[in-house]
A and B are shown apart, each in its own frame.
Chain A
Amino acid sequence: MQTDNINFQNIWNNKNAEIPNIQEIKSTAEKYRKKQIISTILVMLWLTVTAFGIIFIWNVINFKMVTTSLGIILILIALALSLYLFSQNINVIRKINPSISNQAYLSSLKKLQRQRLYMQTKGISIYYILLSFGFAFYFYEFALYMSTIAGFLAYGLTFLWLAIVWFFLRPRQIRKQNQKISKIIDSLETIEKDLVE
């Protein structure tokens, strides 16, 4: 092989592949569009259901105490939040316009990941706080009708479970998200460093 003056251009252009049918592109684009519409509809639907649920519980069902309604509402909000956090984890990358320069794109990716990290770690804590208060309020009315022992037991067990979640499950979830996203941010930073060199 002649190596004094290698013509990389020729070697590079030697790579060949069949051009796929253009229809594939158009149908994939259509598929993405439909998926986008469906997921938007689902989120709207879920929010509407939550909102109606809250209005219904507040106005229609007559619990004797406000705390019961408040409890259910807090639980519903917690569920809506968890759905939002989950949806944030999918397809957010597609929202960045990819026709900007690599440098600008990398910094947008990094910003997005930092936001995600914040939301996923703080969001998880907020979710459990809402859920705990929701249960505490919800059980209050029923606990009043129970014997003291049963009341203690109901509250005790619920909060034991919540404590386990808060002190064991939550840190684990946060750690996992943190690791995953931090790794991506690190990789992005490594690439960015190459830009300034």
Chain B
Amino acid sequence: MQVLNFEEIYHEYWKRIFRLCMGYVNDHDAAKDLCQETFVVVFQQLPKFRQEASVGTWIYRIATNICLRQINIEKRMPKSELSDEIKDNSEKDNKLEQDKMTDFLYQCISELPELDRIIISLELEEMKQAEIAEVVGITPANVRVKIHRIKEKLTKKFKNYANR
């Protein structure tokens, strides 16, 4: 069994978990809080972790479940239809095109249904579809179909965004 060191895990996974949480809430501070919650649980449970699943699967399960349980803590955010426009403000206008696109991507993802947000975030973190299936608890075939649909949706949004 591999010896696991919390500090190594923290530095290896923090940015990935942050992006996942950002995709879920699209709010920098809220994402940081969710990230902190995740690593607190990782820290507490690491000694008990028996490595039946890979470390990655284990951490992503914790992070995604912590995102999901937000429903219990605060009011569910009203899910608005995907808007084609990113909120305009002068600060954002000065950003590089790449950064604007990144903001737009995170905004689009955070407006998807909860599980779709999780699935596409894990896919973008280059997780294998079989592992995504393990995290979410659906079949790999189902994961493939969902990823395809979500990417189609996102591509459409980006096309509209470009043609504005």
Contacts and interface: CB of A to CB of B under 8 A. Distances in A.
Q: Chain B binding site: helix, strand, loop or mixed by DSSP?
A: helix
Nearest to A108: B65
A20 B113 CA distance: 29
Contacts of B161: 1
Contacts of B158: 1, 3, 6
Interface string A95-106: 010111111111
Interface size class of A (residues with CB under 8 A): 35 or more
B154 A100 contact: no
A68 to B, nearest CB: 44
Interface residues of B, number: 59
A9 interface: yes
A100 B45 CA distance: 13
Given A14-B102, A19-B15, A184-B72, A9 B65 contact: no
B1 interface: no
A145 interface: no
Given A100-B61, A194-B116, A8 B151 contact: yes
A77 to B, nearest CB: 29
A11 B102 contact: yes
A188 B72 CA distance: 9
A101 B36 contact: no
Interface of B: 6-7, 10-11, 14-15, 18-19, 22-23, 28, 32, 36, 39-41, 43-45, 49, 58, 61-62, 64-66, 68-69, 71-73, 76, 97-99, 101-102, 105-106, 113-116, 118, 124-126, 134-138, 151, 154-155, 158-159, 161-162
Given A22-B10, A102-B61, 6 more contacts: A6-B154, A33-B44, A98-B65, A98-B69, A105-B68, A187-B76
